[in-house]
Structure 1
Amino acid sequence: MSPEVNIDPSQERRSANLTISQNIRTFNPLVVALDTILPIMNSISKDNGEAEISIPMIDFSRWSSASSAEERVSVAKDLVAACHDVGFVSITNHGVSPELLDEAFGWSKRLFDLQTEEKMLAPHPHGAAVHRGYSYPGLEKVSQVISSDPEVGEGLRSVADCKESYEIGSEENDEQPNVWLPEEILPGFRDFTTKFYWECSRASREILAAIGRGLDLEDPEFLLKFHSGHNNQLRLLHYPPIPAAELENGSSARMEAHSDWGSITLLFQDECGGLEVENPHVQGEFVGVAPVKNAMVVNIGDLMMRWSNDYLKSTLHRVTLPPANSNDRFTGPERMTRARYSIPYFVGPDSDAVIACMRECASARNPVKYEPVVQKEYRLMRGRLQYEEKAA
């Protein structure tokens, strides 16, 4: 099978992710020391100026409107190649209409324009077990660090993430119940975001089906059996303006370098820019990804990487300053950055799903790298430091 033939051992998990993989395999003691991980984080926090890469671009109408099975296979192979080489791919004609995307960003802006006390009527629950509702700037800390030590989390929070978000899931997910604003605060918000959630789920299933076909799985719909859509997460994200110096000197962050935890992520973003991914050819070097209007950026998550035995890459990425070639990068004497809005949709296997290497992705020459893991256990482990636990 192609994943066995094409695997390049030199392009396996980057050093920071290797640390995580080792902890995940053992589940004991699940601690990564700050003095080990912080040099890695600091080494990738530099502004890369005007450096940009063009991630692979795929017109997905070739899949949805294909005139032959061969054409669908061709698109699927292109998708898998991009996910293998870079871990990121930009997809046009993905089935989520431009009009719906415009509406989604409009709702996001109206949400974050509310007064803080209004947004706090739907507060994110304490801790990381339930990832729903509104997170104010500085509440969440994204990182690539795994630990069960609260002091490690405190050390990470010394550099606050300057962003706010609102998390939405399926109404049928009892493990993570939604936290809604009162209807009179933002009439129509709940109805629209629920509709948008399931539209993104529909699009994600087509991507998963294409990945299965591109990997030459005996059952091309294998991945769909683990993804009912009820364990996905819609996130509305707003990065308020911030003095550029705070990002440049590392006293604040927008979003630190990290990999995503799930199967795949669908990302819609405005024209601001600031998304950076690790250069697949230079470990620790991050380069900007130019936004493409109405395109969907898809990236591989950790669980898909485990399913594929590292053939598909869960690439480190971050959000930082707008690109240097942006005309309105900064404003005023404090060099305030412009606001940035994005909408990621995290696609996860069902909570009790067991993620084990797909047999087509392993052989005597390419042995299985990971022990099976249950989605819920993996999510809780990765998210342990993301939100501070409060004493009862």
Structure 2
Amino acid sequence: MAGDEQEIPVIDFAPFLDGTEADREAVAAQMRQASKDWGFFYLSGCGMPEARLAEAFATSEAFFNLPLELKQQVAWQNAESNRGYVGIKREKLDPTRPGDLKEAFNLAPERPEPGAFKNLWPVGQPQFESVMSGFLAECTQTAGRVLEAFALALDLPADFFVEAHNEHDHTLRLLHYPPLPEGFEPEDGESRAGAHTDYGSITLLFQDAVGGLEVRTRGGEWLRATPIPGTVVVNTGDLMHRWTNHVFCSTPHRVNVAPENRRKDRYSIAFFCHPNKSAEIACIDSCTAVDAPPLYGPISAGQHLHEKLTNTYGASSPETEESL
């Protein structure tokens, strides 16, 4: 890893959006180095309107404050759809640990063809649908810009990754980590979100001020990814790791139950950017060399995602929720 400061890089994206070609190349080079060393970086100046972000967080909080029976009416059903409400302990990101101490709501772009999956919107909450649909569109646009920079960083055509994501098989996930009860003690490694890597190409993560995200360094230590106002956390996922032959790394991370924040609600919003399900993920030519042959055979993005989601949720029914 470059340097000894052990700090996740902060990269200003504004020069990529508004600068010269040399500016764009310089930003892309920073993103390549951060993705190689960390698999994580903070991105400032990404063009996401602050008012839209604040509205999304307020609307997410209002949803999670609804009675459980209303949230359960739109419960997550299966990996194929991957939409709806996920109750506390329903998800187990680290399969060796107990269920995660969080609840979530997944939505995704809807496709027009007959039989396509639709979002599971809670009844009587029209503002929730309109705000989240708008925020989903903002995230899709921001992710496209990041993917364009990644292509430049790897000496690829500017639209290489954008074209492979043009069916928008993405997922927007709202997350709520409730306060832990007085006297609560974690059971057998219990945490707010177990150690895991993300499944797709890139993730955009918006954090509130409470924090809790931790990233594992190359040396195996866990480092807090403290929230920085005005930034989005970007990390590379398993498919980008595979696609780039480990040039861009998929790094384990978790959300820990920090002692000072046990009595606080934590909210975050994650946008999981995923290639078209039909896209073939095969090693990129610029990521190979005589001493670095391809490490993986081709796989479809859809097959990879389905396997990961099945491992995460198992075969149990979504109605078997537990609560703190």
Q: Same fold (TM over 0.5)?
A: yes
Cα deviations across residues 63-101 of structure 1 (Å, max 9, x unaligned)?
Answer: 1110x2111101111111111110001001111111111
Name the counterpart of 1:389.
Answer: 315
Name the counterpart of 1:54.
Answer: 7
Name the counterpart of 1:203.
Answer: 142
Shift of 1:279: 1.2
Note if 1:187 corresponds to 2:123.
Answer: no
Structure-1-length-normalised TM-score = 0.76
Shift of 1:388: 3.5
Give SS of 2:271's match. Answer: strand
Match among 70, 86, 91 for residue 22 of structure 2: 70
Structure-2-length-normalised TM-score = 0.91
Name the counterpart of 2:180.
Answer: 242
Q: 1:76 to 1:189 in 2, by over 3 A?
A: same
Name the counterpart of 1:95.
Answer: 47
Cα deviations across residues 210-254 of structure 1 (Å, max 9, x unaligned)?
Answer: 01101122x232111101152000000000011487565535321
Name the counterpart of 1:269.
Answer: 207
Shift of 1:294: 2.8
Give SS of 1:200's match. Answer: helix
Shift of 1:338: 1.2
Match among 271, 275, 282 for residue 356 of structure 1: 282
Q: 1:251 to 1:308 in 2, by over 3 A?
A: closer
Note if 1:123 corresponds to 2:75.
Answer: yes
Shift of 1:118: 1.3
Note if 1:164 corresponds to 2:115.
Answer: no
Q: 1:82 to 1:245 in 2, by over 3 A?
A: farther
Note if 1:114 corresponds to 2:66.
Answer: yes
Name the counterpart of 1:24.
Answer: none
Name the counterpart of 1:293.
Answer: 229
Equivalent pairs, count:
312
Q: Is this contact kept in 2: 1:351–1:374, CA < 8 A?
A: yes
Percent identity of equivalent pairs: 35
Give SS of 1:160's match. Answer: coil
How far apart, CA to CA, are the structure 1 residues paired with 2:268 and 2:10? Answer: 19
Give SS of 2:32's match. Answer: helix
Cα deviations across residues 282-319 of structure 1 (Å, max 9, x unaligned)?
Answer: 12x21111101231000000111111100101000000
Name the counterpart of 1:15.
Answer: none
Name the counterpart of 1:225.
Answer: 163
Note if 1:373 corresponds to 2:317.
Answer: no
Match among 249, 256, 279 for residue 217 of structure 2: 279
Q: 1:140 to 1:175 in 2, by over 3 A?
A: farther
Q: Is this contact kept in 2: 1:247–1:320, CA < 8 A?
A: no
Bigger Rg, structure 1 or 2: 1
